[in-house]
Amino acid sequence: MKLANARADRDTFTSKASELARQLALAGIAIVWIFKTDKPDGPSVPRDLLTPTLFIIVALALDFLHYVYGGAAWSFFHWKKEQREKVDEDAEFKAPTPINWPTNVFYWGKLIAVGVAYALLLRYVYRQLFF
C-alpha cells in the first residue's frame, strides 16, 4: 500500500463520518422536538433534553469550524506557496504538521459531541418508554 492510498482511504472515511455526524445532529434536533411539550406561552423542551441539545449545537458548531478552518488554513498555505514563495505547480514540498491540528480537534470534537448527545438522548427515550 502506498501512503497516497492510505490518505485517500482516510479522506473517504472522515468525510463520510462528518456527513453522518451532521445528519445525526440534525436528526437529534428532530428527536428533541418530538418530545417537546406545548405550553400556553409556546413549546417547551423537557429539562432532561437540554444537555443533549447543547451537545448537538456544539457538534454543529464544531462541524462548521472544521470546514471553515480547514478551508482557510489550506487556502492561506496555497497562497503562500504560490504567491510568496513562487513554488512551481509541479514542485514537491511538505506541509507543516501543525496545519491540521485544529482541524483534527474540530473533527474529533464533533464526533464526540454527537456521541454524547445520542447517549443522553437514548437514556431519555429509554426512561420514557420503560419507566
Among candidates 120, 116, 101, which has minimal Cα distance to 21? 116
Instruction: Check residue 3 and give its pLDDT.
Output: 85
Instruction: Check residue 50 and give its pLDDT.
Output: 97
Instruction: Check residue 35 and give its pLDDT.
Output: 92
Q: What is the pTM of this model?
A: 0.89
Q: Which residues of the chain have pLDDT under 50?
A: none
- CB-based burial of residue 107 (10 Å sphere; 0-12 exposed, 13-18 middle, 19+ buried)? buried
Instruction: Check residue 97 and give its pLDDT.
Output: 92
- CB-based burial of residue 42 (10 Å sphere; 0-12 exposed, 13-18 middle, 19+ buried)? exposed
Count of residues in the chain: 131
Cell numbers placing 36: 417537546
- What are the distances in angstroms from CA 16 to CA 7, 19, 111? 14, 5, 12
